Structure 1
Amino acid sequence: MEYRRLGKSGLQVSALSLGSWLTFGQQISDSVADELMGIAYDAGVNFFDNAEGYAAGKSEEVMGKSIKKHKWERESFVVSSKVFFGTEHKGPNRVGLSRKHVIEACNGALKRLQVDYLDLYFCHRPDKNTPIEETVWAMNTLLQQGKILYWGTSEWSAAELMEAIVVAKQYNLIGPTMEQPQYNLIERYKMEKEYLLLFKEYGLGTTIWSPLASGLLSGKYTSGKVKDTRLDLKGMEWLKDAVLNEEKLEKARKLQSLADELNVPLAKLSLAWCLKNPNVSTVILGASKTQQLKENLTTLEVVPLLSTEVMEKIEDIVKTKPVLPQF
């Protein structure tokens, strides 16, 4: 396993990490989730990603039980939670990024994950109803209390991140260390254009999600079939419509042909492509089957195959690279 610094921080995270969105507490059994945790840890994964909103809090409960069962030394792993969407019970002050919810959600996550502190704590989405200043202060309070070690954002705009950084500097508080954006061969704008100044000037770290574009780049949807996959889950109709787009499917088919030429699975080719970006701190893997995870955990072997020529072939297929301003 390769380890990378989380942006400019001193924290080292495994280049490949394990996330629980749509799987833990929902798509797979607790015993399979526990097995996946063990496989990942034994392969050198040290970062496990979670959120209060995943399976309405059940995802964190499942992960917490697994962590306790394995009896891993606390220093050997990094665990996260995210605040915004709330858990099972919604209502005033139970969602969003108010000081009240940020702190109460953190306390809830600690109980569900059965840990004394969170290594990483993310603002899962920007909150238009709460001043960013209030959220930055709340995060700083949790840092001072030792309940979190680093805080960051997920799917925030560069402008919102800059405001958080400016507020933190103004009041001598600790600003965001990392952002969790979607990043894959289809969705590239934030990572390759919008955040460039934040990477250069502030050393922002990234824990990228959906590196396989919700399975599109795994090759399993090129036939258009979704039975027994996450796209077949109740409530995932929006995701199904976004993924099973004919233009995207055609790109996936062409990428599959290239992967076949290289004699590697399309999933590993797509994951390796994400790892080539120096601004990616860690690529979050999702898995519902043990063999699937074992296979994807060997992705680092594929990275050397991505020569300049291969990268150009990929670009010719996807044509998704953001256009940068000319100076």
Structure 2
Amino acid sequence: MEFRYLGRSGLQISEITYGNWLTHGSQVENDVATQCVRAALDNGITSFDTADVYANGRAEEVLGAALKGERRESLEIFTKVYWPVGPDPKGKNDTGLSRKHIMEGIEGSLRRLGTDYVDLYQAHRYDLFTPLEETMQAFADVVRAGKALYIGVSEWTPDQIRRGHALATELGVSLVSSQPQYSMLWRIIEDEVVPTCEELGLGQIVFSPVAQGTLTGKYRPGEQPPQGSRATDDKGGANMISRWMKDDVLAGVQQLRPIADDLGLTMAQLAVAWVLQNPNVSAAIVGASSPEQVAENAKAAGVRIPPEAMTRIEEALGEVATRDAALVGRANPRRRPV
């Protein structure tokens, strides 16, 4: 495993970070999820990403139980706050980035994770309905209370990042990370988000580097998705991957196979290694449904893709990759989900 600094902070994280988004607490049985976490540790991964909303809190519980007994100082645990968590019906203050929800959110996350603090606490989306000053003051108070060491954001626009960073600086806390979707097929952060973060000292912790499994090459144009794959999952996976299930995209992905073969990589390893070629990327978040997948994903650490191979990748996917910077921030809710 190799390690990178998170932006311009002094925090080092494993460049392959293990995430338990769709799997733990929902799609994968708890014992297998625990085996995946153990496999991550065995392969040198020390950074773990989760969120309170994943599986309605169960993902944090599974991760906390799997890490129990590990030396806490040797781990970097990230979680996020924004979406409603808990029993139905949800309350009117159970979502967003109000002071109330942030303060209650961190307490719930620490309880489920079984830890006194998280290394990184991130705003899971931007809250259009709460003053940014209120949000950043609450995050600063969480840091001052020792319940989080650093703060970050997820899927914020360059302007939102810039304003949040200015307030964090005024409050004397470290806004150090941006967590966007990024892959060979989804490049919308490259034109504006990445330059803004490079200027301000934030590092990217990117999710979906394999485009929900599309870049593994398992899906072929004109063919039905394999049974048991994410594209056939009715618990949320199929919706997440649907944007890639187009013949022109899948045909472009198949052109990556000889490139991966020439480099001695699987297609998944090539996809993860590709996002890590971007110097502003501090880590790629990978998930897995088996310990074997974890071990394979971890092999993308330290891979350097030669320029000629990067050119071939561009030729294969240049026409089907999504690059529109106007799509940044579209995931931020325009109305309250509660």
Common fold: TM-score over 0.5 = yes
Q: Which amino acid aligns with 2:235?
A: K
Q: Which amino acid aligns with 2:272?
A: L
Partner of 2:177: 178
Tell me the secondary structure at the aligned position of residue 138 of structure 2. helix
Partner of 1:194: 192
Root-mean-square deviation over aligned CA pairs: 1.8
Contact 2:188 2:324 in 1 (8 A): no
* Structure 2 residue 80 is matched with structure 1 residue 82: yes
Q: Structure 2: state its 5+ residue gaps.
A: 326-338
* Structure 2 residue 39 is matched with structure 1 residue 43: no
Q: Alpha-carbon deviation of 1:14?
A: 0.5
Contact 2:198 2:280 in 1 (8 A): no
CA distance in 1, matches of 2:228, 2:203: 34
Contact 2:214 2:241 in 1 (8 A): no
Tell me the secondary structure at the aligned position of residue 242 of structure 2. helix
Partner of 1:166: 166
* CA deviations over 1:216-251 (Å, ceiling 9, x no partner): 001222244142123313244422421312222111
Contact 2:24 2:33 in 1 (8 A): yes
Q: Which amino acid aligns with 1:269?
A: L
Larger RCO, structure (CA 8 Å, separation 6 or more) = 2
CA distance in 1, matches of 2:128, 2:324: 29
Sort the Cα spacing of 1:239 and 1:160 in 2 relative to 1 into closer, same or farther, 3 A: same
Q: Alpha-carbon deviation of 1:252?
A: 1.1
Partner of 1:299: 300
Q: Alpha-carbon deviation of 1:323?
A: 9.1
Q: Which amino acid aligns with 2:217?
A: G
Q: Which amino acid aligns with 1:317?
A: A
Runs of 4+ in 1 over 3 A off after TM superposition: 260-263, 320-324
| Equivalent residues in 2 for 1:70-109, closer than 5 Å | 71-89=69-87, 90-109=90-109
* Structure 2 residue 222 is matched with structure 1 residue 221: no
Contact 1:86 1:105 in 2 (8 A): no
CA distance in 2, matches of 1:179, 1:233: 29
CA distance in 2, matches of 1:67, 1:323: 39
Contact 2:186 2:323 in 1 (8 A): no
| Equivalent residues in 2 for 1:168-317, closer than 5 Å | 168-169=168-169, 171-190=170-189, 192-222=190-220, 223-231=223-231, 232-300=233-301, 303-304=303-304, 306-317=305-316
Kindly, what percent of the aligned residue pairs are identical?
39
Tell me the secondary structure at the aligned position of residue 281 of structure 2. coil
Instruction: State the TM-score, normalizing by the size of structure 2.
Output: 0.89
CA distance in 2, matches of 1:62, 1:91: 25
Contact 1:177 1:204 in 2 (8 A): yes
Q: Which amino acid aligns with 1:207?
A: I
Q: Which amino acid aligns with 1:225?
A: P
Partner of 2:333: none
CA distance in 2, matches of 1:57, 1:186: 30
CA distance in 2, matches of 1:136, 1:323: 29
Partner of 2:62: 62
CA distance in 1, matches of 2:119, 2:324: 35
CA distance in 2, matches of 1:167, 1:92: 27
Instruction: State the TM-score, normalizing by the size of structure 1.
Output: 0.92
CA distance in 2, matches of 1:24, 1:248: 29
* CA deviations over 1:67-114 (Å, ceiling 9, x no partner): 11xx11110001111101121332311011101001101000000000
Q: Alpha-carbon deviation of 1:17?
A: 1.1
CA distance in 2, matches of 1:176, 1:31: 35
Sort the Cα spacing of 1:116 and 1:311 in 2 relative to 1 into closer, same or farther, 3 A: same
Partner of 1:119: 119
Tell me the secondary structure at the aligned position of residue 34 of structure 2. helix
Partner of 2:335: none
Sort the Cα spacing of 1:174 and 1:62 in 2 relative to 1 into closer, same or farther, 3 A: same
CA distance in 2, matches of 1:151, 1:102: 12
Q: Alpha-carbon deviation of 1:277?
A: 1.0
Tell me the secondary structure at the aligned position of residue 214 of structure 1. helix
CA distance in 2, matches of 1:323, 1:311: 20
Contact 1:49 1:284 in 2 (8 A): yes
Q: Tell me which moved more, 7-16 or 236-245.
A: 236-245
Tell me the secondary structure at the aligned position of residue 198 of structure 1. helix
Contact 1:83 1:122 in 2 (8 A): yes
CA distance in 2, matches of 1:39, 1:237: 26
Tell me the secondary structure at the aligned position of residue 274 of structure 1. helix
Q: Alpha-carbon deviation of 1:126?
A: 0.7
Contact 1:136 1:175 in 2 (8 A): no
Q: Alpha-carbon deviation of 1:176?
A: 1.7
